[in-house]
Chains A and B, each alone.
Chain A
């Protein structure tokens, strides 16, 4: 009978054991689930980051191409000269008499119906606060006030040194914010959570206020207003996106022209001036150095203090003094191979992307040494090679000339010097020296790396990668405690590296996609110890579980990746065929991964991503032709366009859009068919894109919807659904459906 209790015990023990085991099983399963989720999150991040940096590389290459043309092309007619020089004449704008009359805003009338904020100068704190409130309510500041504010901003900036020196004894604390990239919600959140700027509350904004997000204008207005109101407590550093050439590609130019249809051009012109007068760095208590990108092994703060920073208008078009001299030599002498120099990237021989053979991810591939120069801005020494290049360029241009009918027809009243002839002495002095230019580019474009040393930043195309030794060297040389920089998106909004001597702070939350990352800002207390505050300025994400958040972001990344794959269909097919030795139309999944990497060079973990990009086929073999077809089906929007052409356009759509905007130097929104064809021809031949002339002509003609010989930029992009798919609400209405671009002012009420 004792068995009764002992059986009970026995069962109890068994039950307990079973419960224990069951729990352990569930936990084991759950932990695996979470691990896979984490892996997906990281892969997604890799996708976004590698695509982003590849885009930046593209941008630099594009401008390198135009710069090269600029230096080496001898125009044979005024038309040609005009065409090319118009692309590069932005500096001439400064001499434009129109620019002198900055105070033109006074003539702009503000209608009574305008309900937005009205500014008067000198600005009062209330004005600045009112601006924040107005923008939160989605109002738009009238162009007159925009220009007025910009004018006053420039007047203020001119007085500031290159390196702002700030002391903490006046304000209790200093808050440093990183990239905002047009994300107004984040800025408003920061002010809400941390408090508005005041004499007791100092702020430093570390560059990249504009581009990508949809409210860059509003952010600038707020930042400039507070700077004018609290000049001693509110500080701005220049970022690499405070650069009108970069803005052409990354959306700020587009935003301004969309929001300010009449005065947009003027605003952009004025902004160009304002940007180049932004200070380069801020130094707190002589101990903490804040700058946008990073440093290099040649960073010299004393030199940086002295240069005329306004001379560096844009990284993309460095017309340095030395370079002009070299051009002179080249023009006069015959090509002699004297100095050493790398092959310009756009020559057929060197067409492959720079650097790493196996991993060209954003985190990796710091393989090229410093000596391999980045074409943009570097001087191209005379070589035998350039002789060949020159003649091949000329041959191309000859063809284009004939095609475009650009023979000498009319003489214009122009200064007789061509773009590549010597400028006057005063203009010479306007230009920065090579070294000055390098110093600034390093500050704005560099990224830290784990390894020691200093290498060219080939991923971005500007600046360098700097190691912990470079940081240490700099900190010791100038007796500093640590560096604060931005420039790179981080999942947590911040990241320490180099033994906590470098802090990256990034303030644009949900940068790649809703839920992709947090934003952060850092407060420096009395001992200058950093205190980080994180946030995510989107209520929607709070209600989602981690799983759902990751899924959303992942979907977005995969979509972008599939687009990229489609854009390289032809190359992919070639690679697949190479591996299909028996010509059966099948390759292994392992081959698929290798092929894709060899074409895209994104350094992504393809095997991990495979299940989401490829529907598994039998036996682990892939029918690659039908896979490519499926990709195309997703992307193609018009059947009558030759698919290879579309694919080419897709691959180059950012470049295309940028080319458009460069050619359209007066921001009218139109370029002529000829201009388009000529430029595209030059560009594509040097990128070894094989497109027949007929195709181009057909294409150009078919997108000229109203047959007036002009192409409207937005119409062109829309026609191929190349306008950003994830149009923010405001832009969705701005994405024009109107055929007459003149009033494609889709005036939608919730226009932001």
Chain B
């Protein structure tokens, strides 16, 4: 019993250090606060993959009573620790991602055209902003065929991450 508790404490301590590090990357001036718009990046870089909706809910939880545009570390730490302990918002496995693309590829060609990609990403789900759309297009679309072979695309992105 005691052993398990110790182990959990060690795990929590390690989580705390990780969370602090990630937070500090965005807290340039050591004020123990970060701009609320960076919270999504911080949470995602800690290994979580929340949707935009889930993110909004989270932010509502850690924001001040009267939102200041900043998130304080003291509020962020316990919430984030919970998330890590509960392994919430797990990342998406490669095969699931592939199947998602296949769903959109109704004709089962193995690729999506540029227009199709734009349509789905900007109109469905939680739509991309124009910036996000452009950035995805620049890396995904093969200029010659004007389409994205999504299997290759996924492989490329995944190896790049590792």
Contact = CB atoms under 8 A, between A and B. Distances in A.
Contact of A608 (B22, B91, B132): B22
A25 B104 CA distance: 11
B24 A22 contact: no
Contact of A31 (B40, B96, B101): B40
A605 B22 contact: yes
A20 B121 CA distance: 10
Contacts of A31: 40, 44, 52, 132
Interface residues of B, number: 48
A28 B139 contact: no
B97 A26 contact: yes
Interface in A34-63: 34-36, 38-39, 42-43, 46
Given A39-B25, A545-B139, A28 B50 contact: yes
Interface stretch (B56-64, B65-73, B122-130): B122-130
Given A43-B25, A359-B24, A364-B30, A25 B97 contact: yes
Contact of A605 (B14, B24, B30, B157): B24
A541 to B, nearest CB: 13
A39 B21 CA distance: 11
Interface string B124-158: 11111000100110110000000000000000010
Interface residues on A, range: 35 or more
A739 to B, nearest CB: 45
DSSP class of A's interface residues: helix, strand, loop or mixed? helix
DSSP class of B's interface residues: helix, strand, loop or mixed? helix
B2 interface: no
Contacts, number: 133
B80 interface: no
Contacts of A450: 28-31
B29 A608 contact: no
B121 A363 contact: no
A645 interface: no
A457 to B, nearest CB: 15
Contact of A21 (B18, B42, B125): B125
B73 to A, nearest CB: 13
A46 B25 contact: yes
A642 B77 CA distance: 47
A28 B126 contact: yes
Given A26-B100, A545-B139, A605-B21, A590 B14 contact: yes
Contact of A27 (B45, B101, B121): B121
A535 to B, nearest CB: 19
Given A19-B124, A30-B132, A449-B29, A545 B17 contact: no
A479 interface: no
B160 interface: yes
A607 interface: yes
A360 to B, nearest CB: 11
A25 B100 contact: yes
Contact of B96 (A25, A366, A451, A545): A25
B92 interface: yes
Contacts of B157: 33
A39 B138 CA distance: 20
Nearest to B13: A590
B28 A363 contact: yes
B121 A590 contact: no
A429 interface: no
B128 A27 contact: yes
A23 B91 contact: no
B57 to A, nearest CB: 14
Contacts of A606: 21
A529 to B, nearest CB: 25
Contact of A363 (B30, B49, B160): B30
B24 A36 contact: no
B89 to A, nearest CB: 9
18 contacts: A19-B104, A22-B125, A25-B125, A26-B104, A27-B52, A28-B51, A29-B92, A34-B135, A35-B43, A42-B25, A42-B26, A43-B25, A364-B24, A364-B28, A450-B31, A607-B21, A608-B22, A608-B25
Interface of B: 13-14, 17-18, 21-22, 24-26, 28-31, 40-45, 48-52, 91-92, 96-97, 99-101, 103-104, 120-121, 124-128, 132, 135-136, 138-139, 157, 160-161
A-B pairs with lowest CB-CB distance, top 10: A450-B29, A23-B125, A24-B125, A35-B44, A23-B124, A39-B45, A22-B103, A22-B100, A605-B21, A363-B28
Given A32-B44, A546-B135, 5 more contacts: A19-B120, A24-B124, A27-B121, A34-B132, A35-B45
